[in-house]
A and B are shown apart, each in its own frame.
Chain A
Amino acid sequence: MTRNVNRIIGLILALLATGYLLLSYQLPTYDYIPVDADVIPKALGWLLLILSVALFFSKDQDSEEQKAKRHVAKKDVKAMAGVFGITLIYIMLLEVVGFIVMTSIFVFFCSLFLGYRQHVVNAIVSISFPIFIYSIFVFLLNINLPQGILPL
């Protein structure tokens, strides 16, 4: 089983290296330049290909602790996927809805989703932090964050 892990990763890396090499060989080159823009990428691509082959055939050296890290319970995978999904929605709507509103919603629902049940504290934190940060960025640092639907 442990050998399989290295084999699979080795294969993925070899594919990555091949793709990268294909693109490197398409880079335009010019005359009279001793080392053009394609040289380093080609070298890196070949190097990764060699290393991925080495990984494919290498024995696993991981400690027991490291192996234990690989076992992620199903409910944790779900929780992670949830956080990932909430973040995706946040990114998609950030510029439309605006920083303060969207970030408040994000912090509140992300914490709620992960099992935080003190709703009052959650509401206070998720409203006050974004306002505080918005003020620092916009008024102190003159960095404009998306204002969105709020008439600020």
Chain B
Amino acid sequence: MTVESGHRALPHTSDIRIEAWAPTREECLAEAVRGLVASFAAPPPAAPSDVYWTVPVSGETDEDTLVSVLDEVIYVLETEGGIPARVETAHGGNGPLLRFHLAPLHEATLTGAAPKAVTLHELRFGPGARGWSCEVTVDV
């Protein structure tokens, strides 16, 4: 890893596996969301609308939090027809959260198979010597 924050796709035969890393837990979650979106869509070039989706990041365990945050990407895609074009970390009344700024799916360019569920298979999320990192397999 040569940069502080980032994400990449790892090989998996039928589904997708994403690795993300960042200096903090919340930034790493945001990178994982960016990595998941990048696996299937390029958001439209125009700035996203002011429609946003707020996702708490305080699960029972860090791994549970990662799974529920990525679950929200899928949920918002299927029920709102939106994709997180921009993701930012923020603080709400109940603690840290992520804010997804949504772009309409029909304006995005699909570049891969859309995610449908987040698996627990070889799930990893935690701090290390160089910040936080995670790996997760997503059903498509």
Do the two chains bind? no
Task: Please give the residue numbers on chain B whose beta carbons come within 8 Å of chain A beta carbons, in ascending order.
Answer: none
Task: Please give the residue numbers on chain A whose beta carbons come within 8 Å of chain B beta carbons, in ascending order.
Answer: none
